[in-house]
Chains A and B, each alone.
Chain A
């Protein structure tokens, strides 16, 4: 570990704090339905689509519209991918995708997962990267933020029947936040060296006279929204480790910050929406502490390096699967951030991390990606933990369970537990299945406990809608494409539906003024309780699987046992 490394962690942490308020203000203006410049475009969209932006939707209607919209997105994307060979802007002549891969990829991008069973540079044409995939980088992100808005309205409104209008939320988030920010961000990335062209490739003659085909394309436009919308699906197979996606230390810094930007802003926005900014800062504080601890652990583990290489006369940190321009600090930090959020972009190969260094991203996803989290999904996931925590606090100290002025009752707690339980249920059962079936074991790149980690990481990643991978696993088989798609779809919507139901139930309730019997949901005691509940409820469920994977891997690594 170096001084510069810790300085980087400190700088990123400070900038995340600094971003929260301005991003929160921007998001609040969208949440609040304020008129913004460019309203003519917004109104034009509503007119064409037959939308009445003032129509209040109850939680059921909101959920049905989210589901149908997402399902339509899957069908359209599937069609794009199956027709690729017949479509223009395909300079490298990429062919149509197999049905299982097309289905997996369509669900992957629509659910904001961006798991990629394919290598972008050799599979996807420029038209598909833009017209089929970049679109869902915007729309799945906007859907996440829209759902978060609806959920926040459930907490903020009193005796209300509606949670807002899905189409208005979606349109406003896309037009006033994602699109303008991506334009500026993408141009900055181009300045830093990220290509943006419709050309397919350039053939170079290397200094030694060999031919090297350099794949180019509209990379920057995809890269910007890939990070800002916590999508994470790379233009190239190596993702943000590829020098064309992430050319330098400063583009890397920007990418890390852009993963957290909306998540940090939403935490702050929550406080404004419920009329008590301290509520937002309490959530922010718990997220922040979990982030710093995870990043620190990963950095420590990677700096400690691999004893198996130390024994060969190669001292120092673990550089396998890392880029020189990022080094160990920026690679570990990126890994923590991309899994705190549901981004899933990688600037180093998590598969080659030390056992404990790889445990951190895995565990981050297993907590539910609520550490700033995916755009929108981070906040609504976190709020389920808040509901659960006031309930537990009520049991422990006999206080009446209330949160931001709303009485939390049996229905909300049951729904919150449902939303939280979906993760371990899906992850562990699907992992178990793949770990015993020959088709599951066929895809492994590593033997021993690390092979198990590859399977566990894959299902954790897709159910959490993260998309990063222990990428040695060969997932482009009907078996994996199918099971992973199941994980992505249910991991997304079996959280969204109960969470919207909680919001619907809360919106209808009266405001209860805080009394002497209320458990305070601001301040260090609350933050500590939240962290405790998150780590115990979210994390402990997975401990046995972690013991079989990364922990066993660690013991093998330090004792020199090779597989």
Chain B
């Protein structure tokens, strides 16, 4: 036993040290080098810019409160869409807190004029609190409000949603979804084009 123990000391220390350098420093450094060279956009967070300003990441949901924008799902990350504090509500299925929270959100949704069944993702908190997507149903449910706030025809806004729907990969892998940030950007772009008027119309960005 004593001999077994003594013989383990040197390999334990040297292997720990060697592999700390190899897998803890060299490996991530090598990958960072390659990734920054080959996939710079993704490696730096798939950022979305307007001019020189970063307006967010394509992958990270952000909070929208204005009636002029489509809203994402309820978020339990910090005070809502706090990307330094990801996480879900962790409320169980029979939690009073869950039912109370959903009832509050339901009031808002109903106030926007939605009748009939409410899409499940619209009033439930996501796992990360940073879900960038909503279901197409949740987006359609907000069309009337957004169109009203922007004085746009419902059909125009609806067409923007239609164009923003991402289909499952190869028709089967994944869910139909709408990226809320990209949808709202498309909405802003469409509104700008209209303001520019027929004479100065510019192609959509």
B130 at the interface (CB under 8 A from A): yes
Q: Is A324 a contact of B133 with CB atoms below 8 Å? A: yes
A384 at the interface (CB under 8 A from B): no
Interface stretch of the complex, out of A215-223, A368-376, A390-398, A483-491: A215-223
Q: Which of B27, B30, B43, B88 contacts A134 (CB 8 A)?
A: B27
A534 at the interface (CB under 8 A from B): no
Q: Is B90 a contact of A8 with CB atoms below 8 Å? A: no
A138 at the interface (CB under 8 A from B): yes
B162 at the interface (CB under 8 A from A): no
Q: Is B59 a contact of A244 with CB atoms below 8 Å? A: yes
Q: Which of A190, A208, A309 contacts B35 (CB 8 A)?
A: A190
Complex Cα–Cα for A222 and B94 (A) = 36
Complex Cα–Cα for A170 and B90 (A) = 38
A322 at the interface (CB under 8 A from B): yes
Smallest Cβ-Cβ distance to A120: which chain B residue: B86
Complex Cα–Cα for A193 and B11 (A) = 38
Q: Which of A130, A199, A203 contacts B25 (CB 8 A)?
A: A130
A171 at the interface (CB under 8 A from B): yes
Q: Given A190-B35, A314-B120, verify A202-B4 contact (CB < 8 Å).
A: no
Q: Given A130-B24, A324-B177, verify A61-B86 contact (CB < 8 Å).
A: no
Q: Is A190 a contact of B127 with CB atoms below 8 Å? A: no
Complex Cα–Cα for A215 and B128 (A) = 13
Which chain A residues lie closer than 8 Å to B118 at the CB level? 312-314
Smallest Cβ-Cβ distance to A131: which chain B residue: B24
Q: Which of B32, B69, B125 contacts A221 (CB 8 A)?
A: B32
Which chain A residues lie closer than 8 Å to B123 at the CB level? 309, 314
Q: Given A131-B20, A325-B174, verify A247-B59 contact (CB < 8 Å).
A: yes
**A484 nearest CB across to chain B (Å):** 17
Smallest Cβ-Cβ distance to B103: which chain A residue: A312
A56 at the interface (CB under 8 A from B): no
Interface stretch of the complex, out of B44-52, B143-151, B152-160, B196-204: B44-52
Complex Cα–Cα for A315 and B30 (A) = 49
In A221-273, which residues have CB < 8 Å from any B CB? 221-222, 225, 236-238, 241-244, 247-250, 253
In A154-188, which residues have CB < 8 Å from any B CB? 167, 170-171, 174, 178-179, 182-183, 186-187
Q: A-B pairs with the 4 shortest C-beta distances?
A: A249-B174, A472-B90, A241-B127, A450-B92
* Besides A196-B43, A327-B174, 20 new A-B residue pairs in contact (Cβ under 8 A), listed by A number: A7-B172, A61-B4, A76-B16, A139-B16, A193-B59, A195-B42, A197-B32, A205-B53, A207-B69, A214-B60, A215-B84, A241-B127, A243-B128, A243-B132, A248-B169, A312-B99, A313-B118, A315-B117, A472-B92, A553-B92
